[in-house]
Structure 1
């Protein structure tokens, strides 16, 4: 076993080989408080991630987890809920010894967000954890709650003194998306948050940035000489960034109506992926330097118009998908049949820099599409001259470099190769790298990485105010344009790849969407 000194204490990591010189990042004394602990996110992602971190030896021995909700539970009831979530959704094997040690730090506070007494009780609970568990005054507050509840919870944290930081102690807040619904609301929310927590204590979660494949974009680009010479407008024809889901709204129809695909995915996930794809090499990989380069890309990003031709939106209708007859959007329970909220959205951007000038970036997302996939496809220009008979290259497409974010995380390269035989016939082939086959290590879940980064105070993968507000500046004109249209979103069949208007959007430039 290996021991390491952190935050004034020495913590033992039972899973680490002491001969391994790569020290794991282990959190110092701290606790996590989850608001909205009864929701799906907490049950399916947060609680299992906390157990997985403990199972990997990355949490301190005195780590504490406090749940806050309106339920009439005691700590034992809360522990049972966490246990069920862990056994059902944890990535790593269940070990009773790890669970017993982790469960010693569980606490539960019952109350509503506007209940002063409940927050005073939470403050007393946190102080008791400092005394009993040795959490050292270091506490993170995870707001896994609807955005409309952010202001009241933040004000309660300030009123009760829970947000106050003293000396070397820290207090941090974690905020889930959506962060506002337009630029104006995002600015107002930023002001509310920063009135209570300084910006360096605010962690805005974008779970896509915690995925290994997203972080691998930086490794691919800057650890290899192979890609840099061709990663520019001289060789790249266009870039397609896709997040497709094969599910419908289901029970989220009431939440989703009025938000839509563009606000839900493009404003945060896809514009962040665009920034990672297009940024210049930072002088170091410190959080401040990485953020500088991301913000430069977002500041240089602009919409391509006219928006009637360079954007598309749609709503899915019923149909056969995966051998199953599924309902259309307007038949989903809780959805307004007259709603113009889109379930498919696509926009066209350009990045006004020397490297990327003239290269369109197509961003699309949708529900009830052909399959679940998130990928970044860099499509290269065709060779300027082909010394072959045209009949021998009919099936030859454009070279492509595709980063698969999920599922089947990895990278695919598409290029032309000669078909075996006596003739010079050239056809597309692919070369594939998969995380699951290339490494013996199993990739941690995104929330494992992000929760650990919160506890460590490592902000590299969390967007700051400027990134959030700039993303809304990019998207707002599209939302305003769509809102002004009398006609609603175009229909598309469940299991297809979106409305015809999306295909026409690329066809006007002589391009087609990639079918993942």
Structure 2
């Protein structure tokens, strides 16, 4: 593998929503901090007809809307880095003009591909034919990368025809979040946790990704996808893999991803009764009335907007520990969090004095707030004449408050910088993707076999009551 820092960045889908909200603001923020190579040029391409000045005006408007003013330092310099070349990816003849616009990067070219899945193959062919897939070019791929294992392999084969694996960067933006990376620091940088991070000491784990939004602008995509493929297949399984993996030999792309894929391959096939699917109906979010999924879609559908799963990892470390995964739209609040509940103490010396102990709980908040909270048992102050009283008290670390100075970053800042510099550690390898799809496809096959219908739930609730029962029959309550 040849390491190089690119001095050209080519953005496909440069006029799309992801570019407006995330990519251009991330690049501008990196530029403001002097983290981009002074020589780097950023070329945008999409179907939209515009020239360089038009794209710069588009970028300025996006930055003023989505990037705080204090992070827009050197805006004029950043805008001058931008150029634009219109392209219809289905027309092979257009790639020659794109290659001319890109020029011959002395150091290398990084490509960020954010297009419809149907355009992947013609885009890769066009890049290869125009000389934009040589040994000094690497490519970042934004999801969705297929709808099942077969289609994912088809896309990956197409990309692999022009780019070897060490120059393919599959993006899961959750891996760019600070608190997700802090999972590794928490586990492997503290002797306190790793000796207890196993079935002997952990009772169960919960991972929740909840959204308050409905379909918004993703009507066509979401109804063909559903919550399982949209959230569980990528984001949630990546969180699970980081949480459950064995200690890697070192913090580098090969070793970290080797350990993640072992976890994903150890996932037990989900059994009958271990999943619940739901679809929201009209309700209220934060006091505002919102329509049901069928109303937003404009037709009946069995697509799930909520899924809860009881998962198991069949390996030495986690045998017998259930992992409860839950994600849904139109939930009461937006949150992504991991809850690790430790086992009860084997014997309470305080029970004879009327004290009750509860298990320690580690809560890792990823969004909207980044924090880590560990609940510990402590004695309630007093003279104990009426018994010895214990209470669970939190030790809380709010990550932005713990470190004075660092900015709260957009996840894509780190990922774009790693793409430009060629660090694959926070990107997903092909065998990971295929292990994820293998597990997801088995769940969907089970649903099809059972003809499982999505249960309705009111917008603003935590999903169907059956999801509560999924955990409660094991004596467990969802953390809310």
TM (normalized to structure 1)? Answer: 0.88
The yes-or-no answer on 1:352 pairing with 2:314 is: yes
Q: CA-to-partner distance for each residue in 1:2-21, whole Å, 9 max, x for gaps?
A: xxxxx9xxxxxxxxxxxxxx
The yes-or-no answer on 1:138 pairing with 2:108 is: yes
The yes-or-no answer on 1:505 pairing with 2:470 is: yes
Contact 2:8–2:110 (Cα < 8 Å) also in 1: yes
- The corresponding residue for 1:274 is 240
- The corresponding residue for 2:395 is 431
The yes-or-no answer on 1:162 pairing with 2:141 is: no
- The corresponding residue for 2:201 is 235
Runs (4+) off by over 6 Å: none
CA 1:433 to 1:38, structure 2 compared with 1: closer, same or farther past 3 Å? same
Of residues 104, 116, 123 in structure 1, which corresponds to 2:80? 104
CA 1:343 to 1:419, structure 2 compared with 1: closer, same or farther past 3 Å? same
Separation in 2, partners of 1:205, 1:362: 25
Of residues 496, 502, 508 in structure 1, which corresponds to 2:461? 496
Of residues 328, 340, 344 in structure 2, which corresponds to 1:378? 340
CA 1:353 to 1:487, structure 2 compared with 1: closer, same or farther past 3 Å? closer
Separation in 1, partners of 2:452, 2:152: 28
Q: Which protein, 1 or 2, shows the higher relative CO under an 8 Å CA cutoff with sep ≥ 6? A: 2
CA-based RMSD: 1.8
- The corresponding residue for 1:313 is 277
The residue correspondences of 1:66-85 to structure 2 (distance < 5 A) are: 66-85=43-62
CA 1:479 to 1:202, structure 2 compared with 1: closer, same or farther past 3 Å? same
| Deviation of the 1:115 alpha carbon | 2.2
Q: Secondary structure at the match of 1:363?
A: strand
Separation in 1, partners of 2:464, 2:351: 36
- The corresponding residue for 2:226 is 260
| Deviation of the 1:226 alpha carbon | 0.5
The yes-or-no answer on 1:115 pairing with 2:91 is: yes
Contact 2:43–2:83 (Cα < 8 Å) also in 1: yes
Separation in 2, partners of 1:82, 1:48: 9
Q: CA-to-partner distance for each residue in 1:14-59, whole Å, 9 max, x for gaps?
A: xxxxxxxxxxxxx845111111112110000000001111111111
Q: Secondary structure at the match of 1:289?
A: helix
CA 1:299 to 1:430, structure 2 compared with 1: closer, same or farther past 3 Å? same
Separation in 1, partners of 2:200, 2:310: 19
Contact 2:202–2:343 (Cα < 8 Å) also in 1: yes
Separation in 2, partners of 1:82, 1:138: 24
Deviates more, 1:243-252 or 1:380-389: 380-389
Separation in 1, partners of 2:452, 2:325: 22
Q: Secondary structure at the match of 1:502?
A: helix
Q: Secondary structure at the match of 2:118?
A: helix
Of residues 362, 369, 374 in structure 2, which corresponds to 1:401? 362
The residue correspondences of 1:244-255 to structure 2 (distance < 5 A) are: 244-255=210-221
Q: CA-to-partner distance for each residue in 1:48-104, whole Å, 9 max, x for gaps?
A: 0011111111111121111112222110000011111122222562556x2232223
Q: CA-to-partner distance for each residue in 1:319-372, whole Å, 9 max, x for gaps?
A: 12211111111111xx25321110101212211221111111111111111211
Separation in 1, partners of 2:353, 2:16: 58
The yes-or-no answer on 1:343 pairing with 2:319 is: no
Gaps in structure 1 of 5+ consecutive residues: 1-6, 8-26
Q: How many residues align?
A: 474
Gaps in structure 2 of 5+ consecutive residues: none
TM (normalized to structure 2)? Answer: 0.95
Q: Secondary structure at the match of 2:161?
A: helix
Q: CA-to-partner distance for each residue in 1:232-284, whole Å, 9 max, x for gaps?
A: 11110011111111111122122200200010111111111111111111111
